[in-house]
Structure 1
Amino acid sequence: MTALRLRGDLWMGAAPLIRGLALEMPGGVWSCLLGPSGVGKSSLGRLIAGLPGPHRLEGVLEACDGQPLAGRVAMMAQGGQLLPWADLVGNVTIGARLRGARPDTARARALLAEVGLAGLEARRPDALSGGQRQRVALARVLMEDCAVVVLDEPFSALDTGTRLAMQDLAARVLKGRTVIVITHDPLEAIRLSDRAWLLGPAGAEALALPDAPVPRDWRAPQTLTAQAALLGRLLPVAPACAG
């Protein structure tokens, strides 16, 4: 299991985004990065995934086993970013094709079946529902078979019921991997996280989480109480009504 350590300052070009980061993300469990838009959550996800961009870290990002992270991280980006011209098998195997390797179509079909899409392999993304497209993106991440998975707002476009179902599915199929989930959603953070941090310009604050296994029951009093407390941290104070 690959644990991660990240320390230092996150910059966007010449502008600092987050100072004094100190994150210890344990191996084999879910860690959550939560915070307002523009704080740098997606930049941290891209940094962990080794993707290029205007962001940079003045500090250290390393796997705690001392081995390079390159080749051990898969990322599910916002919106899934499926190829509209390719069928589902083609979308799931795109990583191998880009590397010039022979795609394992049998494994791709097995993964599509695992995420509930058996029989739909020949369809293209525009023939799927939003939840089905997210399942294809999840199968593509699984196809890479990486120890570390970054999920950047993976279910933000889904309705509430579908989002809860996809959270449960992701928790099941990614069990045992080191998962970093980036979200704006307090309930998603509370349900899925073994560790969670609220990001801001001055660093990352560790959040208290209910003492229950993930994915936590969204109806449980502990989950609802933790969600309300976190929502109160994220929302600005509303002015009192006159009259």
Structure 2
Amino acid sequence: MPEPLITIEGLYKVFGKNPESVMPMVHEGRSKDDILAETGHTLGLKDINLTINKGEIFVIMGLSGSGKSTLIRHFNRLIDPTEGVIKVENTDVMKLQPKELENFRRHKMSMVFQRFGLMPHRTVLENVGYGLSIQGQSKAVWSAKAKEWLDTVGLAGYEAQYPAQLSGGQQQRVGLARALCTDAEILLMDEAFSALDPLIRSEMQDQLIELQDTLHKTIIFITHDLDEALRIGDRIAILKDGEMVQQGTPDEILLNPANDYVEAFVKDVNRARALTVETVMKPPSRRITADTIEEALIQMKAIKGDYGYYVNDDGYQGVVTQDALEACCDDASTSQEMDDTVWEDLPSISPDAMLESVIPETLDADYSLPVVDEEGNLKGELSKSNLAEVLGGAEKKSEDRV
């Protein structure tokens, strides 16, 4: 079971002179526009409930004004909620006293901003080591660690440069290195890559994924870009007008949008690039495991098909057809053991492969392709019709609503 690290319960945020006075209207279900018109207060967040698991990349996304940046600033209490509970490892963040909150921000969470947030009068090395320096670490300690992180993000040799001397992508790498240098367990990233050119943005996404494979940080990532969310997120929460409209894994959101608002986000996504084989494959219903041809033929007839995937103690071996089994029965004893003269080679595909990469194989094959993991275990099968159903799903849903 995943281990929850952050828990948000019943979180509300109202902006205005007297937020508590309008909370009865909020609980009555009055609209954001009504509350603004009658009271001059703005409803920023409404009844947010979520858990974020240790070591995952949790993406919060939505259009401008949806409340996503407001929400992320609640995690380290840059903004205090009007109502609600914020717990980090069972610590109620709302009960932290000023000194405790200061230590919490310095040691538990780091933040990467959209506009880099670098100090122009400090060198790259000083920017990266700044968090450790204000924690009281000696210059020898923080500079050594800052150099390590600069090397990790591909900026070794830039230590003496100033932010203005770097490109936008390099500045964001400095910002990422600075956040990682404090060794904080939780990384908050607010539209961290949105100011970058598309190619550099893609490179930064790749680097974040690579770093996460090693570091296993808990990352809360804000974006308005669904392609980015699908690419990097383990789970995604979608906000609209301060309310959570859906949360789930990328494939859950892509294949089962909760409403028309979410559907509007996902309709233009290239599913072949966003979904893995594992998310759309069917269970392996054609498994043949018999030791003899006679037993294999009995299994074949039971699955009501004319072919199956042969699996023995060594894992997946190939595809075997009913015609081949019957021919063997005619030519030899039905007690003959199964061997590689009975089955045919049929390339398998990995459950982790992106659909885009297996489309040609799937369309060219005479059979549904077996999905096999690294240990040789048969995990599922992918057919032409299955592929067409998934890739055509967005268009069909749109037609159904017309």
Instruction: Provide TM-score, normalisation by structure 1.
Output: 0.81
> Which secondary structure does the structure 1 equivalent of 2:220 belong to?
strand
Which residue number corresponds to residue 13 of structure 2? Answer: 10
Match of 1:186 in 2: 226
1:195 matches 2:248: no
- Give the % identical residues: 33
1:21-36 alignment, distance < 5 Å = 21-36=48-63
Which residue of structure 2 lines up, in the alignment, with residue 240 of structure 1?
Answer: none
Q: Alpha carbons of 1:136 and 1:59: their partners in 2 closer, same or farther (altered >3 Å)? A: same
Q: Does the CA-based 8 Å contact 2:190-2:221 persist in structure 1?
A: yes
Counterpart amino acid of 2:210? R
Letter in 1 for 2:55: G
Q: 1:66 aligns with which of 75, 82, 90?
A: 90
The answer as to whether partners of 2:114 and 2:195 remain within 8 angstroms in 1 is no
- Which residue does 1:49 correspond to in 2? 76
Tell me which of the two structures has the higher relative contact order, counting C-alpha pairs closer than 8 angstroms and 6 or more residues apart.
1
Deviation at 1:38? 1.9
1:160-190 deviation line (CA, Å, top 9, x unaligned): 1111110111122234111000011111111
More displaced, 119-128 or 202-211? 202-211
Evaluate the alpha carbon distance shift between residue 208 and residue 114 of structure 1 in structure 2; reply closer, same or farther with a 3 A threshold.
Answer: closer
Q: Counterpart of 1:81?
A: 117
Verify the 8 A CA contact 2:230 2:274 in the aligned structure 1.
yes
Q: Does 1:155 align with 2:193?
A: yes
Distance 1:79 1:197 in 2: 23
- Partners of 1:12 and 1:76 in 2: CA distance: 24
Structure 1 residue 208 displacement after superposition = 4.8
State the match for 2:162 in structure 1: 124
- Give the Cα–Cα distance (whole angstroms) in 2 for the partners of residues 209 and 3 of structure 1: 20
Q: Is the 8 A contact 1:2 1:28 kept in 2?
A: no
Which letter maps to 1:87? T
**2-structure distance, mates of 1:179, 1:195:** 11
Count matched residues.
220
Equivalent residues of 2:191, 2:223 under 8 A apart: yes
Asked if residue 209 in structure 1 is aligned to residue 250 in structure 2, the reply is yes
Q: Which segment drifts farther, 93-102 or 125-134?
A: 93-102
Which range moves more in the overlay, 141-150 or 71-80?
71-80
Counterpart residue number, 2:137:
101
Does residue 115 in structure 1 map to residue 153 in structure 2? yes
Q: Name 1:141's counterpart in structure 2.
A: 179
Whole-Å Cα distance in 2 between the matches of residues 125 and 199 of structure 1?
34
Whose radius of gyration is greater, 1 or 2? 2
Q: CA deviation at 1:57?
A: 4.4
Distance in structure 1 (CA, Å) of the matches to 2:45 and 2:92? 24
Deviation at 1:97, TM superposition (A): 2.9
* Inter-partner Cα distance in structure 2 for 1:115 and 1:101: 22
Quote how far apart the aligned CAs of 1:100 are: 4.0
Deviation at residue 67 of structure 1 after TM alignment: 3.7
Structure-1 residue corresponding to 2:208: 170
- Measured in 2, the distance between the counterparts of 1:210 and 1:200 equals 20
CA distance in 1 between counterparts of 2:178 and 2:155 reads 13
Distance 2:211 2:64 in 1: 28
AA aligned opposite 2:83? E
- Is the alpha carbon distance of 1:2 and 1:97 closer, same or farther for their aligned partners in structure 2, counting shifts above 3 Å? farther
Q: Is 2:59–2:221's contact at 8 Å kept on the other side of the alignment?
A: yes
- The change in CA–CA distance for 1:116 and 1:68 in structure 2 (over 3 A counts) is farther
C-alpha distance in 2 between matches for 1:126 and 1:40 = 31
Distance 2:156 2:92 in 1: 36
Question: Shift in Å at residue 35 of structure 1?
Answer: 0.7
Question: Whole-Å Cα distance in 2 between the matches of residues 181 and 39 of structure 1?
Answer: 15
Q: Secondary structure at the match of 2:60?
A: strand
Give the whole-Å Cα distance in 1 for the aligned partners of 2:163 and 2:270.
33
Distance 1:219 1:189 in 2: 13
* Partner Cα separation in structure 2 for residue 118 and residue 208 of structure 1: 36
Query: Residues of 2 paired with 1:147 and 1:189: CA distance?
Result: 21
Please name the residue that 2:324 is paired with. Answer: none
State the distance in 2 between where 1:2 and 1:94 align: 30
* Cα distance between partner residues in 1 of 2:147 and 2:61: 34
Task: Give the SS at the match of 2:250.
Answer: coil
